[in-house]
Amino acid sequence: MLRIRGTVGDLPVDLTVEMDDADWARLGIQLGAQVQETSAPADTPVKPAASRNDAVWDIAQALLRKAGHLTGPDLLGQLEGLSGSTAAGKRLMVRMRHSANVKVESQGDTPVYHWIE
């Protein structure tokens, strides 16, 4: 559940939005789309995830796939926002590093994560 309180002009606002796992997954995909615009229509149905962890992993992969490549610090920042903590973001980065669809190159002190098909 998401609760928003504030004002619109002089009018008080108290809004409660109930979201299930599929709604959170769609929101994560939309936030990930800020990295690079997606060509899929906004009304494309999103398959409900089996669990919250699977949904976050699917969104993390989609984020890198859409971007094509991201530096380690940029990817960590995106994954921290997606997962809600630095530790969970780092766990996702380790999982990415070991994924068959991700290639990691060292460019000086900064690793670059590339999505490969």
**57-66: average pLDDT:** 90
Instruction: Note the CATH architecture for domain 2-37+49-115.
Output: Orthogonal Bundle (1.10)
Rg, C-alpha atoms of the chain = 16
What is the pLDDT, as a whole number, of residue 19? 77
pLDDT above 90: percentage of residues in the chain: 31
Residue 33 clears pLDDT 80, i.e. is over it: no
Residue 49 clears pLDDT 50, i.e. is over it: no
Q: What are phi and psi of 34, to 5 degrees?
A: -65, -25
Q: Would you say 12 and 24 are in contact if contact means Cβ atoms under 8 Å apart?
A: no
Can you tell me the distance from the alpha carbon of 85 to that of 95, in angstroms, rounded to the nearest whole number?
15
Domain residue extents for the chain: 2-37+49-115
Can you tell me the distance from the alpha carbon of 57 to that of 86, in angstroms, rounded to the nearest whole number?
15
pLDDT band, very low/low/confident/very high, at 53 (cuts 50, 70, 90): low
pLDDT digit string, tens, across residues 2-23:
677 888 888 888 888 787 777 7
Please indicate whether residue 44 or residue 79 has the higher confidence score (pLDDT).
Answer: 79
Q: Which two tokens stand for residue 34?
A: 């800020």
Residue 1 clears pLDDT 70, i.e. is over it: no
